[in-house]
Amino acid sequence: MTWRTSGSVLVVLFCSMKGVLGTTCMNVTYTHQSISALIGSTVDLPCKYQHPDNNTVIEQKWFIQNQSYDAPRNLSSVPEYAGRLEYLGNNKTDCTLRIRDLRESDSAQYKFRFKTPFAEWGYSFPGTTLTVKGFLSPLSVVSWSFLDVLVVGSVLTAAALLLTIYCILKRKSTGESGSTAETQAVHPDSNSETYTALNMKNRAPEYETLTRV
């Protein structure tokens, strides 16, 4: 499965007064505001919800909204999703939805709704937006935060600096050896007045005749 997530955690809180029950608070948390996935892959839409302990959840449903002006539709009643949905949640806190064999037409916003005997969590709040593509560019596979960019930039800068220092030292070292005296290892010839020396640049012997005093 190849997918990318972006955006921060979205938490929506709803509180209402329910007589003797006091304050009744409910909330839904969508881990990702947007998710991108490849055609044919499987994706999970992570979701958490909360309700008072003395309330029993009697209904959970996921809805799809293709456009902001469209009315949300019950996902389980949409024929195109038949056999491709799996609810991974429970009656307590988890409302994660899994969609298999993704199609480009699955690109939409998905919202979770649940009911208790005393209250209902609607789908008027924002949910998770899914975008299904045939190809994900390398830059879109990972969501880069400011901290990620800062760390990677620092590492690359340090690496470039070290490489520059190495090249300077290498060049300096090569230059010093090149400036060494050209003639080294002078060897006298006992039978003549000629001295033989080795030129360190071209490794060729050079001859010099010295005049005796």
pLDDT in tens, the chain (213 residues): 445 555 545 555 555 544 444 445 788 999 999 999 999 999 999 999 988 878 888 889 999 999 888 889 999 999 999 999 999 998 888 999 999 999 999 999 999 999 888 878 777 788 999 999 986 555 544 445 566 667 777 888 888 888 889 888 888 877 654 444 444 545 555 555 555 555 555 555 554 554 554
Residues 82 and 186 in one domain: no
Which stretch of DSSP H or E encloses residue 64? strand 59-65
| Residue 195 forms part of a structural domain | yes
In this prediction, residue 22 carries a pLDDT of 45
Residues 51 and 115 in one domain: yes
| Residue 136 forms part of a structural domain | yes
Residues 127 and 202 in one domain: no
In this prediction, residue 108 carries a pLDDT of 96
Write 184-187 long-range contacts (CB < 8 A, 24+).
none
Residues 102 and 39 in one domain: yes
User: How far is 46 from 38, CA to CA, in rounded Å?
Assistant: 17
User: How far is 102 from 24, CA to CA, in rounded Å?
Assistant: 38
In this prediction, residue 110 carries a pLDDT of 96
Which of 113, 143, 173 is the last residue in one of the domains? Answer: 143
| Residue 130 forms part of a structural domain | yes
In this prediction, residue 169 carries a pLDDT of 86
Distances (CA, A) of 60 to 67, 100, 125, 173, 175: 22, 20, 16, 74, 77
| Residue 42 forms part of a structural domain | yes
| Residue 173 forms part of a structural domain | no
Residue with tokens 């999970």: 44
Greatest Cα pair distance in the chain: 126
* Nearest residue to 35 via CA among 62, 70, 7, 75: 7
Residues 70 and 134 in one domain: yes
Domain that holds residue 104: 3-143
| Residue 161 forms part of a structural domain | no
DSSP state of 193: S
| Residue 67 forms part of a structural domain | yes
Domain tally, the chain: 2
Residues 122 and 191 in one domain: no
User: How far is 52 from 27, CA to CA, in rounded Å?
Assistant: 10
Which domain CATH number covers 89? 2.60.40.10
Q: 108 is written with which tokens? A: 């939409």
In this prediction, residue 153 carries a pLDDT of 79
In this prediction, residue 121 carries a pLDDT of 79
Which ranges of the chain does DSSP label H, i.e. alpha helix? Answer: 138-141, 146-178
Q: What is the pTM of this model?
A: 0.56
Distances (CA, A) of 142 to 9, 70, 148, 174: 17, 31, 10, 44
Instruction: Tell me how far the alpha carbon of residue 66 is from its chain's centroid.
Output: 27
Residues 41 and 139 in one domain: yes
Buried b (16+ CB within 10 A) or exposed e, 91-109: eeeebbbebeebeeebebb
In this prediction, residue 103 carries a pLDDT of 95
Residues 91 and 186 in one domain: no
Beta partners for residue 132, in sequence order:
37
Which of 118, 143, 168 is the last residue in one of the domains? Answer: 143
